[in-house]
Amino acid sequence: MMLLYTLSGCTLDAGKVDIYNNNEKIAQDRDSYSYVGRNESGSKNEITVKYGKFSGSDTIWNIESEGQSEITIKYDSKVESGDFKGVLISPEKQVEDILVGTETGEKTIKLTEGKYRFKFVGNKAKGKIEISIETEEEEPVKIRKVDND
């Protein structure tokens, strides 16, 4: 019985670890992820997440642009171990790395009409990220935070 449990524990991350370097899997509409410890605080457009042994891809925001517009993503990422990144997925399912590993900064991204997604992607990652997404008031953009409860 103990052997079965051990095998089950080994396969918990099996498919999720392979996601980190696979843009085709990252771009999928469906998420596949696991955390061993996750603590989130914040609001709709600004969050702080402390995570442990995170593997897979986890959608944080759905973004819908009704035309030519811009968003600004500000971040402070501290990765203690493993691999972690934040990516933006375009309506054409193109994956753009916004931040990788331990990094502080901001990026302004031009959007065209369509639905975008912002995801965290990890490979046995442990760390903390503070991140926000902003638009100008007149920008035709709707941002919806995805609840992972």
Q: What pLDDT score was predicted for residue 3?
A: 33
**Euclidean distance between CA atoms 147 and 149, whole angstroms:** 6
* C-alpha closest to that of 86 among 128, 41, 134: 128
H-state helical runs in the chain:
2-11, 14-17, 23-26
- Tokens 């997925």 belong to 89
CATH code, domain carrying 32:
2.60.120
Q: What pLDDT score was predicted for residue 5?
A: 29
Q: What pLDDT score was predicted for residue 149?
A: 53
Rounded average pLDDT per 10-residue block, the chain, 149 residues: 33 64 94 93 94 96 94 98 98 97 96 96 97 87 83
CA torsion 37→72→31→115, rounded to 10°?
160
Number of domains within the chain: 1
Q: Is 61 within 8 Å of 133 (Cβ atoms)?
A: yes
**Euclidean distance between CA atoms 103 and 125, whole angstroms:** 14
Boundaries of domain holding 59: 2-145
Q: What pLDDT score was predicted for residue 147?
A: 80
Q: What pLDDT score was predicted for residue 9?
A: 35
Q: Is 68 within 8 Å of 111 (Cβ atoms)?
A: yes
